[in-house]
């Protein structure tokens, strides 16, 4: 079997960082270096020229995602030093044919990217007939966030074309190994190498995995378990970043300091000082839930205290969020239980029974529906609409990964504005 090629996709915005990361990836065993689409859009063909110069012994791939004017764009990439140019498989046949003619003229190869192609098998056969050199079984980053799998796409192509197949889309060492076992000759990895603090180590793990391809049995995980696992690994700030700064409650703090709660919301609406519905809601919850209580924002009288916390914990509830006050703070702190509230007050009210359980509520400025996901930590409380929970959990994880590399570059001596080229990216009006 031919040795698989490892292509590192430099999906970054800054060429200097890209070169540094590519050097580390090459040390870990990357063969081909891809100027990723975001890098090309940010830096233009200069990105390809710089990579060509910095890595004379390596193939440079220009991920142009060509959609029109196939000949011109291939010529640009070829003259800048790319040996392989990526085009969109979904582009019209006239574009593909022109791209192929241009590639032959300038001595480069064409990789067709199957992103968003409706019938990948028949399109791949057509692309082969049009003279494309490689097919890329690619599921894009946004599609990955809602569960798209490049391995599934790759498996559909097995045996359907005779040109080499590349695979890309969220691969890590484990899935890259499976991809080679499923027939991929080129393995393209972006985020799981370039966002790592230790890029060389991450590339080496993928290299070793693809050199010993195997299909490992994977344990099935329910969608809820996946969402919980991902959300438990990220912070409330990671989640709001993933939601374009939406979802955060205002004016609420952690009563117990460094605690975290992740779970589906059981909602309660009551009036200030009426603790009947909040306490009854404990029985409506299942283990892993978070009680979210709207209390008309009353902070002078507490609908929640130590006995309720004790009872909630026994029930398996993992957190309490109150748009109002809490009491018995010393006892709750001793329990170390995640309670988030607007404030504290010593007096309780009466169990009058006003309000409802599991209806839509407003809590600290955010709409919360039963079953929405809550992520609460020392930075605050964020609500994730239940229908987007998987996507947001995946995106929050990407935010966390991106920060890992930035943190590492700061540790090495750059300032945050240098790493992110802040001045260059200030909004122009
Ligand atoms: O082509 C890519 C994407 O469309 C952004 O330009 C990526 O390079 C490709 O998906 C590989 O990156 P990961 O999915 O992060 O491994």
Rounded to an integer, what distance in angstroms lies between the CA atom of residue 110 and that of residue 134?
Answer: 6
Query: Looking at ligand 1, which residue's alpha carbon is closest to its atom 4?
Result: 140
CA of residue 190 to ligand 1 center, whole Å: 5
Query: What's the farthest any 2 CA atoms get from each other in the chain?
Result: 84
CA of residue 221 to ligand 1 center, whole Å: 25
Rounded to an integer, what distance in angstroms lies between the CA atom of residue 411 and that of residue 417?
Answer: 13
Tens of each residue's pLDDT in the chain, 429 residues: 689 999 999 999 999 999 999 999 999 999 999 999 999 999 999 999 999 999 999 999 999 999 999 999 999 999 999 999 999 999 999 999 999 999 999 999 999 999 999 999 999 999 999 999 999 999 999 999 999 999 999 999 989 999 999 999 999 999 999 999 999 999 999 999 999 999 999 999 999 999 998 877 777 899 999 999 999 999 999 999 999 999 999 999 999 989 999 999 999 999 988 999 999 999 999 999 999 999 876 889 999 999 999 999 999 999 999 999 999 999 999 999 999 999 999 998 889 999 999 999 999 999 999 999 999 999 999 999 999 999 999 999 999 999 999 999 999 999 999 999 999 999 887
Complex ipTM = 0.98
Given a contact cutoff of 8 angstroms between Cβ atoms, the answer to whether 172 and 192 are in contact is yes
CA of residue 306 to ligand 1 center, whole Å: 49
Task: Say if ligand 1 is within 6 A of residue 398 CB.
Answer: no
Task: Say if ligand 1 is within 6 A of residue 170 CB.
Answer: yes
CA of residue 139 to ligand 1 center, whole Å: 8
Class (C level, CATH) for 226-390: alpha beta
Domain segments of the chain: what residues? 5-211, 226-390
Two tokens at 18?
């890209």
> Which of 217, 218, 254 shows the shortest CA–CA distance to 236?
254
Rounded to an integer, what distance in angstroms lies between the CA atom of residue 184 and that of residue 5?
Answer: 9
| Closest ligand 1 atom to Cα of 115 | 4
CA of residue 65 to ligand 1 center, whole Å: 11
| Closest ligand 1 atom to Cα of 38 | 6
Best of 6, 11, 113, 203 to mutate for ligand 1, by most ligand atoms within 8 A of CB? 11
pLDDT of residue 331: 97
> Which of 27, 32, 28 shows the shortest CA–CA distance to 4?
32
Task: Say if ligand 1 is within 6 A of residue 249 CB.
Answer: no
Rounded to an integer, what distance in angstroms lies between the CA atom of residue 382 and that of residue 231?
Answer: 11
Rounded to an integer, what distance in angstroms lies between the CA atom of residue 158 and that of residue 5?
Answer: 18
Task: Say if ligand 1 is within 6 A of residue 37 CB.
Answer: yes
- Residue 165: exposure state from Cβ atoms within 10 A (0-12, 13-18, ≥19): buried
Task: Say if ligand 1 is within 6 A of residue 148 CB.
Answer: no
| Closest ligand 1 atom to Cα of 169 | 14
Q: Which CATH superfamily is domain 5-211 in?
A: Aldolase class I (3.20.20.70)
Two tokens at 362?
């407003």
Rounded to an integer, what distance in angstroms lies between the CA atom of residue 388 and that of residue 379?
Answer: 22
Q: Which helix (H) or strand (E) holds 266?
A: strand 261-269
CA of residue 286 to ligand 1 center, whole Å: 39
Best of 8, 9, 150 to mutate for ligand 1, by most ligand atoms within 8 A of CB? 9
CA of residue 151 to ligand 1 center, whole Å: 14
CA of residue 9 to ligand 1 center, whole Å: 7
Rounded to an integer, what distance in angstroms lies between the CA atom of residue 70 and that of residue 91?
Answer: 9
Given a contact cutoff of 8 angstroms between Cβ atoms, the answer to whether 345 and 327 are in contact is yes
């Amino acid at each position: 079997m031919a040795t698989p090629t490892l292509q590192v996709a430099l999906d970054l915005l800054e060429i200097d960082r890209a070169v540094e990361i590519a050097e580390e990836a090459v040390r870990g065993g990357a063969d081909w270096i891809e100027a990723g689409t975001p890098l090309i859009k940010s830096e233009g063909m200069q990105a390809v020229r710089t990579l060509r110069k910095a890595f004379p012994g390596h193939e440079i791939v220009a991920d142009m995602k060509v959609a029109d004017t196939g000949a011109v764009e291939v010529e640009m990439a070829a003259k800048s030093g790319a040996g392989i140019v990526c085009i969109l498989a979904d582009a019209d046949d006239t574009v593909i044919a022109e791209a192929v003619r241009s590639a032959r003229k300038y001595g480069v190869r064409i990789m067709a990217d199957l992103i968003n192609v409706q019938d990948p098998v028949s399109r791949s056969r057509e692309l082969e007939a049009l003279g494309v050199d490689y097919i890329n079984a690619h599921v894009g980053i946004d599609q990955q966030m809602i569960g798209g799998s490049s391995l599934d796409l790759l498996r559909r192509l097995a045996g359907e074309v005779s040109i080499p197949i590349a695979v890309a889309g969220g691969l890590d060492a484990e899935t890259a190994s499976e991809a080679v076992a499923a027939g991929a000759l080129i393995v393209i990895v972006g985020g799981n190498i370039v966002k790592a603090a230790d890029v060389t180590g991450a590339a080496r793990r993928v290299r070793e995995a693809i050199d010993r391809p195997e299909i490992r049995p994977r344990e099935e995980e329910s969608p809820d378990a996946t969402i919980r696992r991902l959300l438990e690994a990220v912070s409330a700030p990671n989640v709001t970043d993933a939601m374009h700064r939406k979802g955060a409650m205002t004016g609420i703090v952690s009563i117990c300091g460094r605690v975290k709660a992740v779970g589906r919301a059981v909602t309660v609406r009551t009036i200030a000082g009426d603790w009947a519905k909040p306490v009854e809601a404990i029985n409506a919850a299942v283990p892993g839930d978070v009680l979210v209580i709207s209390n008309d924002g009353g902070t002078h009288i507490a609908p929640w205290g130590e006995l309720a916390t004790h009872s909630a914990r026994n029930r398996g509830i993992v957190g309490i969020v109150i748009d109002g006050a809490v009491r018995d703070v010393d006892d709750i702190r001793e329990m170390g239980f995640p309670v988030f509230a607007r404030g504290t007050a010593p007096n309780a009210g009466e169990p009058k029974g006003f309000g409802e359980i599991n209806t839509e509520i407003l809590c600290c400025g955010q709409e919360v529906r039963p079953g929405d996901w809550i992520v609460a930590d020392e930075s605050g409380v964020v609500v994730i609409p239940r229908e987007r929970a998987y996507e947001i959990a995946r995106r929050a994880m990407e935010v966390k990964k991106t920060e890992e590399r930035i943190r590492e570059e700061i540790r090495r001596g750059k300032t945050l504005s240098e790493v992110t080229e802040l001045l260059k990216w200030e909004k122009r009006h």
